[in-house]
């Protein structure tokens, strides 16, 4: 396994249009395995101060499943970095998602993802989110990269 690229939060902002409070990744790393296949990891530390845990649920804060999907999606974007230039990624599908473990304040979500196929500006990704090595969510994500000048 060879590290290709590592991005911190500020560097991620150079490539993704997301900003606080919707930037949901602190670090991304792009790797290449011994067969030349690329995959990535992304991390987000949940502090408990995020807007989405404050009311979900009072007295027992839990990261909503839809937010876990967004964390997986944003973390996956480093796989499309070259294609992202001048484009904005939009979800076109979130399939076969399973939630296995609750994510709570002080947890660090680590996403691993790989592109399974691509057709033009459409990307298909398998992603898994873990906390402390235990799967909390997984699914098949698809994205369309839309020319940013048309938005």
pLDDT in tens, the chain (151 residues): 899 999 999 999 999 999 999 999 999 999 999 999 999 999 999 999 999 998 999 999 999 999 999 999 999 999 999 999 999 999 999 999 999 999 999 999 999 999 999 999 999 999 999 999 999 999 999 999 999 999 9
Give which of 101, 31, 99, 43 is closest to 71, Cα–Cα.
43
Calculate the alpha carbon distances from 74 to 55, 58, 59, 94, 107 in Å. Answer: 23, 27, 28, 13, 18
- Residues serving a catalytic function are 56
Domains of the chain: 2-150 (3.10.129.10)
pTM metric for this prediction: 0.96
130 contact partners, CB below 8 Å, separation of at least 6:
109, 110, 111, 112, 136
Let me know: does 72 contact 40? Beta carbons within 8 Å: no
Q: How far is CA 138 from CA 36, 115, 149, in A?
A: 24, 14, 32
């Amino acid at each position: 396994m060879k590290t290709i690229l590592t991005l911190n939060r500020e560097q991620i902002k150079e490539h993704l249009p997301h900003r606080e409070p919707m930037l949901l990744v602190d670090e991304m790393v792009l790797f290449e395995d011994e067969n030349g296949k690329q995959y990535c990891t992304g991390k987000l530390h949940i502090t408990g101060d995020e807007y989405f845990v404050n009311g979900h649920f009072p007295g027992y804060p839990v990261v909503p499943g839809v937010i876990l999907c967004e964390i997986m999606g944003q973390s996956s974007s480093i796989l499309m970095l070259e294609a992202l230039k001048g484009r904005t990624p939009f979800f076109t599908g979130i399939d076969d998602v399973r939630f296995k473990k609750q994510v709570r304040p002080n947890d660090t979500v680590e996403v691993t993802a790989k592109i399974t196929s691509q057709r033009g500006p459409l990307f298909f990704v398998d992603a898994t989110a873990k906390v402390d090595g235990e799967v909390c969510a997984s699914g098949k994500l698809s994205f369309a990269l839309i020319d940013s000048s048309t938005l």
